[in-house]
Structure 1
Amino acid sequence: MTATDVSGLVTSAIINVAIIIGCFALFSVFRKQPGNEYLYFAHEISHEKKKAALSGRFTLHRIIPSASWVKKAWSFSEEEILESSGLDAVVLSRIFLFCIRFFGICTIAGIFILMPVNYIQGDVDISTIGNDALDQFSIANITNGSNRLWVHFSVLYCVSFLAYGLLYMEYNYISRMRIHFLQTRRPQLDQYTVLVRAIPKSKEKSVSEQVEEFFSAYHPHTYLLQHTVLADTKIQQMLSKAQFLAREIEALKSVPPIHRHPQRTRFWGLYGRKEDPLELYSKEIEELMKIMKETQMQMAQGSKELPVAFVSFKSRWGAAAAAQTQQASNPLQWVTDWAPEPRDVNWSNLLIPYRQVWIRRLVIGVVFVCIILLFFIPAALVYTLAKLDNLMTWFPFIQTVLSIPVVSSFLSGYLPSLLLTILYYFVPPLMMSFTKVEGYASYSTEERATAGKVFLFLVGNSFFLVTYGSLLSLINQAIDSPRQIPNLLAASLPGQSNFFMNFIMTKGWTGLATETLQPFTIISDCFLRHLLGKKLYGPQVQSLSYFRVLPNILLFVFIGFTYTILAPLLLPFLMVYLVMGYIVFRNQVMNMYEPSYETGGQYWPHVHNRVVGSLFLMQLIGVGIFGVKDKAAASSASIPLLVITLIFNYYCNMRFRPIFKYLPVQITMPKDLEDEKMGYNSRVYELLQTAYSCPCKHTLDMSMLNDGNYKPLLSDVGSTSQEA
């Protein structure tokens, strides 16, 4: 790392810290304004834990930034998060907590053990730190064959076993939380229901008759009812708009007419006569519901049954027996799996024939690999253009500008990470569009699959782009000599720590600051309010996009593992991101985001596997770096860690993964007996009559639209169960 790199790092830090302070200050002020409560406190308002102020007298306190939200977000307990936002939100918080514990210890070891060992090498003047290179604090400063490498070897072993211990404890803790969650959770309809696909065709009987006959014959004591899925697309597209209008109408009823902003009736509110929004929305929803009912009548006359059905049972035990066993001698027929929550069902994907699903996923897998390779071109161009030497070579006329220290520091430090951050912003929605084609039956499964794609994309593209310069060259050399992969990575990584420090600040720190501020939502709200004359009165309900959040966290975790031994100076930058993320997302899930589904913590096994993969790569690079540094004994002695990691991951998946995949009989039977004693069954059976029926079969009324997907978590059955 040259003096230019150091000045670039400082410039990047100054820019990012300034942006962060500005965003947090604006957020602190904006959240106090009465007009913004429906955005920054949407979750609380939707749960009726907070009332939105229609107007308020101006006070100086409203325009003075404060950090009170930080203290409040830090003080939330896991029980509060679980009750308000569900187990998935708790798992997100635990991911940050695990990383803070692990990298906190690694940072202490890196600063007080590895950095002094790396720096104290020969006769080096301390005054050369800023002028020469920060590489003096990395393993690159250790001479080949030095006995100081045994310190790195010892730290590698200690860090690895620390990771084993913390990962095991976290997996065990979250597994126990999931079991307790299932044992204490009030009756949920998905625990009684199975999704059946690949129902064989019959010329003599309808799909409904086949399902009824099959489950009555093979599950005679537990079978309750079934809902066949119809080829419905029109109603599904109208429901979201109807739910939005219903939510606005409900909010407008509590707003005095004097506080309602009249809206124009024609073309997005740009022209036409002005009308009271309550009357306008009431007319719109009446018209929309009329169209929906007409569409329902048309579908009722000529609707086509798909070979897909939701089958409900009288008990959890009966549903578990059907969901977790093979139903037919042909495993590609009568395929059963647990049904998603009613609000989590992706009805449009149920139209995809089951036999096409594996073909679609295979094709998307090939396309995904091609996209990674193709996306490498613009990413490499952005990264290459940001190098000063390349800019001077390709654009000699700007050498005068580049000679200005501030400009050169900006271009070498902040610009590359900024451009790549902007470029990668579009990756999650692109990956989500691919995942939608694969035919997953639930939105939660779609998000988990997309999160995996985004993570692999970021690691395969940005990481290898920066560390090695060319993913294709690395692949070619790896094919020619697979045993050289550790050495190839080890030789390239230490010199790129500067870029990743900038990347963590730009994509990580600044990304978290903008997450709190929600600038796009604020801008769109101003556009609607001031240019189109529209104002939203109901809570602007949003769900947390796990497919965006988790890959970013795991990418930084991946980078942290990689550089723990090589360049520990990077770890303090990572720790700042983790602590900020812990606070920011606790605030967001408690105040703003409304869960659109609940998986019961099923994100953790995916996180665990990716963290273990990062640990494995760290150990693989350790084997390579000791080889590059001519310390063959340390390199050979590091190989057992790779085997231990594979055994550890296998044991954890064998011990804990089934808890997240199946519903144990040890839980289902006691819960069934408890519900029978409490008298919940009759109410559950009543709800099952309509919960999984196709949207085109629903009785459309305002109460149904108000319930929709905006119910508080765990209350869709729980509250009604208590009434039973």
Structure 2
Amino acid sequence: MIVSALLTSLGINFGLCILFFTLYSVLRKQPSNYEVYMPRLLADGLSQQRRFNLQMLLPTPGWVRRAWQPSEEEMLASAGLDAVVFMRIIILSLRIFCVAGIIGIFVLLPVNCTGNQLASIDFANLTSDSLDVFSISNVNNGSNKLWIHFSAVYIVTVFICCLLYYEYRYISSKRVTYFHSSKPQPHQFTILVRSIPVSVGISVSDSVERFFTQYHPSTYLSHVVVHRTGKIRNLIEVRAAFVSFKSRYGAATAFHMQQSVNPTQWLTEKAPEPHDVYWPFFSSSFMGRWISKLLVVLACISLTVLFIIPVLFVQGLANLAQLEVWFPFLKSILSITFVSQVITGYLPSLILLLFLKMAPPIMKFLSSIQGYISNSEIEKSACDKVLWFTIWNVFFGNVLSGSVFTQISILLEPKKIPAMLAVSVPAQASFCIAYVVTSGWTSVATELFRMIPFICSLISKPCVRSSDDEVEVPSLPYHKDIPRLLLFGLFGITYFFLAPLIVPFLLIYFCLAYIIYRNQFINVYAPKYETAGKYWPIVHHLMIFSLVLMHAIALGIFTLKKLPLASTLIIPLPVLTLLFNAYCSKRFLPIFTAYSAETLIKKDREDHNDATMAEFFARLETAYFDPALLPIQYSTNYDSRTSPLLPSTEV
């Protein structure tokens, strides 16, 4: 891609961002749009109707200041720990790319530009030059200047590992503190028991009562057998039950221990929050769940393979010569400078972005039939699926399409992979920059403007709405937004020493994301359920993967650039990085899997003399009734589900 095509893409997306910011600044002030731009404040009764004045029709930046003001503790109290973790991803990225940007722009970029491996830069006709002259490709083979890039790889690796350790430790402590500060929650005292053996003439309920009374006599409290409504019979018995205990430690002990000599019976799982239970899960048998998991794996693989088609099409659009071969009848149109710049600079990223929009809902559906018992686990699983689907198709599928898909045999020879990466990755730097601008800048501006809810609101306005109707408060789709943040982190880490020009565009994106998502957590989104920071291990592992990928690319680059000593000295870096990851997994990951006995017993002792615990245990006996089997309620207390100070956590 030439510089002029990138500038065209940059201009289009910059214009769209300004448009969305302006429209948001004006439309958010109109009382008729409160349900779109501040549904959370409206549901909490914190929004105020204002009289019309001229300022309501003028764009103002006051919302930026209000979004900047809340502290992290205030964000934690109002939006939950998951929201804090989401914002910490952005903060981590800003810290990484501030340092990488200083090194890349002020050190590496001048070194790249002074090389003469490629044609000299014609500053009088800069827009016609390829972006390769700004990359490491322009540094002469065997040049001692490549040691600057080598040093940059080491410095940034050490810096990122230090940040990752600090963040893992910080969020781990936040998770424990969040648990200690919470009020007693039903899921802290409850486990789910499946595959309950039932004898002839004995009900599931009786089996559960006998078993836990006999083997957990001092801690067993009560149970609720799961029932499901059926089309043929009014009520189906399911061989599963929510079993509650008198203490958190008692529930944890029952969860971690094998309950039966037969390991396929009395299977235990941690219970989710009552409103987080995914009830359709219980209608599947053990064999049905196993088959579903297999089908989901096959579906994910098939979807990834089929996505190669739009990826290859996008690659063809980015290559003007290839496009003229595919569509010779468009040659006269493609000869127009502006048209060719739009097609090669803006259209490929836009088309790929539109195709990728389909991935999150598909992956969430696939996760929902995989056997998870809670909505939060479904979303977390979907986040993993969307992340790796996106990385494979946008990075490996798109960036490396010319090598991976035409030379599949290379993947069977690991020794050749670094060389293949070294050739292919720098060549696609311009596409990655254009993708960051299109998928990053414009998407985050669209998030602020909330285009789809705004259009839906316009369509539904003619309908009469009762003042007693509840305001629908959405929750942030973590499975869609976290993968985008991490993909851009992958781009930045792998490209900062290859094509440092990408870093300023990433910094602008993360700065916009920081302000916009803080604004959305304050005004729009409310937590529906809480994982207490369980998304962070996904973030940590992806950052480690990005570092190792950068090391593999660096190994190939220095080999191709005839600097064998640098290639040799790079080899210890991925080994040390993986050892660091292993240490973090031993030190911090168990905290995200389950709370320690020390933590649980300390919390149980704090509640021992609490007079309200008797009332809590009485409510616990009915907390896990299937909502579909409860009497219909025509009036609900919405605030109990959306209160910003909801003391919810998970075990």
**What secondary structure sits across from 1:327 in the alignment?**
coil
Bigger mean CA offset, 707-716 vs 429-438: 707-716
Residue of structure 2 aligned with 1:106, choices 100, 106, 113? 100
Is 1:712 paired with 2:648? no
Alpha-carbon RMSD:
2.1
Residue of structure 1 aligned with 2:179, choices 182, 189, 192? 182
Is 1:89 paired with 2:83? yes
Deviation at 1:599, TM superposition (A): 0.9
Q: TM-score, normalised by structure 2?
A: 0.95
Is 1:303 paired with 2:270? no
Q: Which amino acid letter does the alignment assign opposite residue 183 of structure 2?
A: R
CA change 1:500–1:692 in 2 (3 A) is same
User: What do the CA deviations read for 1:211-239 (whole angstroms, capped 9, x no partner)?
Assistant: 111111111111111111112378xxxxx
CA distance in 1, matches of 2:447, 2:500: 28
Q: Which residue of 2 aligns with 1:541?
A: 473
Deviation at 1:392, TM superposition (A): 2.1
CA distance in 2, matches of 1:419, 1:73: 32
CA distance in 2, matches of 1:701, 1:713: 24
Q: Which amino acid letter does the alignment assign opposite residue 619 of structure 1?
A: H
**What secondary structure sits across from 2:307 in the alignment?**
helix
**Contact 1:145–1:629 (CA<8 Å) still a contact in 2?**
yes
Deviation at 1:378, TM superposition (A): 2.4
Residue of structure 2 aligned with 1:410, choices 342, 362, 368? 342
* Unaligned 5+ runs, structure 2: none
CA change 1:471–1:433 in 2 (3 A) is farther
Residue of structure 2 aligned with 1:647, choices 579, 583, 606? 579
Residue of structure 1 aligned with 2:196, choices 195, 199, 206? 199
Q: Which amino acid letter does the alignment assign opposite residue 186 of structure 2?
A: L
User: What do the CA deviations read for 1:685-714 (whole angstroms, capped 9, x no partner)?
Assistant: 1221221112244243345x3349833255
Q: Which residue of 1 aligns with 2:405?
A: 473
CA distance in 2, matches of 1:156, 1:565: 7
* Unaligned 5+ runs, structure 1: 235-297, 719-724
Residue of structure 2 aligned with 1:212, choices 196, 209, 212? 209
CA distance in 2, matches of 1:717, 1:549: 22
Q: Which amino acid letter does the alignment assign opposite residue 276 of structure 2?
A: D
Is 1:115 paired with 2:109? yes
CA distance in 1, matches of 2:396, 2:466: 46
**Contact 2:530–2:648 (CA<8 Å) still a contact in 1?**
no
**Contact 1:432–1:446 (CA<8 Å) still a contact in 2?**
yes
Q: Which residue of 2 aligns with 1:167?
A: 164
User: What do the CA deviations read for 1:56-108 (whole angstroms, capped 9, x no partner)?
Assistant: 53211111111111121122211111110100000001110011001110011
Residue of structure 1 aligned with 2:452, choices 502, 520, 524? 520
CA change 1:446–1:213 in 2 (3 A) is same
Residue of structure 1 aligned with 2:69, choices 75, 81, 93? 75
**What secondary structure sits across from 2:622 in the alignment?**
helix
Deviation at 1:465, TM superposition (A): 2.8
Q: Which residue of 2 aligns with 1:360?
A: 292
CA distance in 1, matches of 2:573, 2:482: 27
Q: Which residue of 1 aligns with 2:616?
A: 684
User: 1:626-637 alignment to 2 at 5 Å?
Assistant: 626-637=558-569
Q: Percent identity?
A: 41
Is 1:150 paired with 2:82? no
CA distance in 2, matches of 1:523, 1:707: 25
**Contact 2:404–2:411 (CA<8 Å) still a contact in 1?**
no
User: What do the CA deviations read for 1:155-194 (whole angstroms, capped 9, x no partner)?
Assistant: 1111111111000000000001011111111111111111
- Report which of the two has the higher share of helix: 1
May I ask how many residue pairs the two structures share in their alignment?
645
Deviation at 1:638, TM superposition (A): 0.6
**Contact 1:464–1:470 (CA<8 Å) still a contact in 2?**
no
Residue of structure 1 aligned with 2:538, choices 593, 606, 620? 606
Q: Which residue of 2 aligns with 1:287?
A: none
CA change 1:216–1:61 in 2 (3 A) is same
Residue of structure 2 aligned with 1:127, choices 116, 119, 123? 123
Is 1:427 paired with 2:423? no
Superposition misfits of 4+ residues, deviation over 6 angstroms: none
**Contact 1:233–1:348 (CA<8 Å) still a contact in 2?**
no
Residue of structure 2 aligned with 1:16, choices 13, 17, 20? 13
Is 1:65 paired with 2:85? no
**Contact 1:32–1:62 (CA<8 Å) still a contact in 2?**
yes
**Contact 1:317–1:669 (CA<8 Å) still a contact in 2?**
yes
**Contact 1:87–1:601 (CA<8 Å) still a contact in 2?**
yes
Q: Which residue of 2 aligns with 1:568?
A: 500
**What secondary structure sits across from 1:596 in the alignment?**
coil
Deviation at 1:406, TM superposition (A): 1.4
User: 1:244-643 alignment to 2 at 5 Å?
Assistant: 302-470=234-402, 473=405, 476-530=408-462, 532=463, 537-643=469-575
Is 1:666 paired with 2:610? no
**What secondary structure sits across from 2:313 in the alignment?**
helix
**Contact 1:117–1:148 (CA<8 Å) still a contact in 2?**
yes
Q: Which amino acid letter does the alignment assign opposite residue 665 of structure 1?
A: A
Bigger mean CA offset, 387-396 vs 152-161: 387-396
User: What do the CA deviations read for 1:96-149 (whole angstroms, capped 9, x no partner)?
Assistant: 001100111001100111111111124945626444333222111012211111
Deviation at 1:37, TM superposition (A): 1.3
Q: Which amino acid letter does the alignment assign opposite residue 38 of structure 2?
A: F
CA change 1:217–1:583 in 2 (3 A) is same
User: What do the CA deviations read for 1:580-602 (whole angstroms, capped 9, x no partner)?
Assistant: 11111111112101111011111
CA distance in 2, matches of 1:660, 1:455: 20
Deviation at 1:199, TM superposition (A): 1.7
Bigger mean CA offset, 346-355 vs 599-608: 346-355
CA change 1:478–1:680 in 2 (3 A) is farther
Deviation at 1:359, TM superposition (A): 3.4
Q: Which amino acid letter does the alignment assign opposite residue 217 of structure 1?
A: Q
CA distance in 1, matches of 2:320, 2:230: 54
CA distance in 2, matches of 1:550, 1:382: 24
Is 1:231 paired with 2:228? yes
CA distance in 1, matches of 2:28, 2:151: 49
CA distance in 2, matches of 1:717, 1:412: 49
CA distance in 1, matches of 2:215, 2:204: 17
**What secondary structure sits across from 1:691 in the alignment?**
coil
Deviation at 1:355, TM superposition (A): 4.2
Q: Which residue of 2 aligns with 1:30?
A: 27
CA change 1:126–1:680 in 2 (3 A) is farther
Q: Which amino acid letter does the alignment assign opposite residue 152 of structure 1?
A: H
Bigger mean CA offset, 201-210 vs 102-111: 201-210
CA change 1:618–1:406 in 2 (3 A) is same
CA change 1:210–1:52 in 2 (3 A) is farther
**Contact 2:189–2:248 (CA<8 Å) still a contact in 1?**
yes
CA distance in 2, matches of 1:679, 1:617: 56
**What secondary structure sits across from 1:690 in the alignment?**
coil
Is 1:675 paired with 2:607? yes
